[in-house]
Structure 1
Amino acid sequence: MRVYGVTGWKNAGKTGLMERLVHEITGRGFSVSTVKHAHHTFDVDHPGRDSYRHRSAGARQVMLSSRNRWALMTELRGGDEPPLSELLTRLDPVDLVLIEGYKRDTHPKVEAWRAETGNPLIAPGDPTIRAVASDSPLDLDRPVFDLNDTKAVADFILREVGL
Structure 2
Amino acid sequence: MNRNAPFRVVCLAGPSDSGKTTLVEELVSRLSEHGRVATVKSIHHDIEIDTPGTDTHRHRTAGADTVVGITPELTFDISTHGKRDPPDRPDGTALLESEDPEIRALGSTLTRLERQGYAFVVVEGFSAAPLPTVLVGDREPAAVGGDVIGRGEDDVDALVAAIRGLEPLVDRD
Q: Do the two structures share a fold, i.e. TM-score over 0.5?
A: yes
**Which 5+ residue runs of structure 1 have no aligned equivalent?**
114-119, 135-144
Q: Which residue of 2 aligns with 1:20?
A: 26
1:155 to 127, 139, 161: 161
CA distance in 2, matches of 1:133, 1:58: 42
| Distance in 2 (alpha carbons) for counterparts of 1:24 and 1:103 | 23
Residues in 2 aligned to 1:78 and 1:19: alpha-carbon distance in whole angstroms: 24
Shift of 1:47: 2.8
Give the secondary-structure state (helix, strand or coil) at the position aligned to 2:22.
helix
CA distance in structure 1 between the aligned counterparts of 2:29 and 2:72, rounded to whole angstroms? 23
TM, length-normalised to structure 2: 0.69
Query: Which range moved further: 98-107 or 33-42?
Result: 33-42
Provide the rounded CA distance (Å) in 1 between the counterparts of 2:85 and 2:53.
27
Q: Map 1:7-156; keep pairs closer than 5 Å.
A: 7-26=13-32, 28-76=33-81, 80-81=85-86, 83=104, 84-91=106-113, 92-113=116-137, 120-124=138-142, 126=144, 128-134=147-153, 145=154, 149-156=155-162
Structure 2 distance, partners of 1:36, 1:63, is: 19
Measure, in 2, the Cα distance between the counterparts of 1:95 and 1:20: 17
Instruction: Point out where structure 2 has 5 or more consecutive residues left out of the alignment.
Output: 1-6, 88-103, 169-173
Paired residues in the alignment total 142
Shift of 1:101: 0.8
Aligned partners of 1:22 and 1:32 also within 8 Å: yes
Select between 86-95 and 68-77 the one with higher mean Cα deviation. 68-77
Q: Decide which structure has the larger Cα Rg and report it.
A: 1
Provide the identity percentage: 30
**Which of 46-55 and 6-15 deviates more?**
46-55
Residue among 6, 19, 22 paired with 2:12: 6
- For the aligned residue pairs, the C-alpha RMSD in angstroms reads 2.5
SS at match of 1:90: helix
Amino acid in structure 2 at the alignment position of 1:122: E
Q: Determine the C-alpha separation between the residues in 1 that align with 2:148 and 2:61.
A: 39
Secondary structure at the residue paired with 2:112?
coil
| Amino acid of the structure 2 residue aligned with 1:14 | K
Question: Which structure features the higher share of strand residues?
Answer: 1
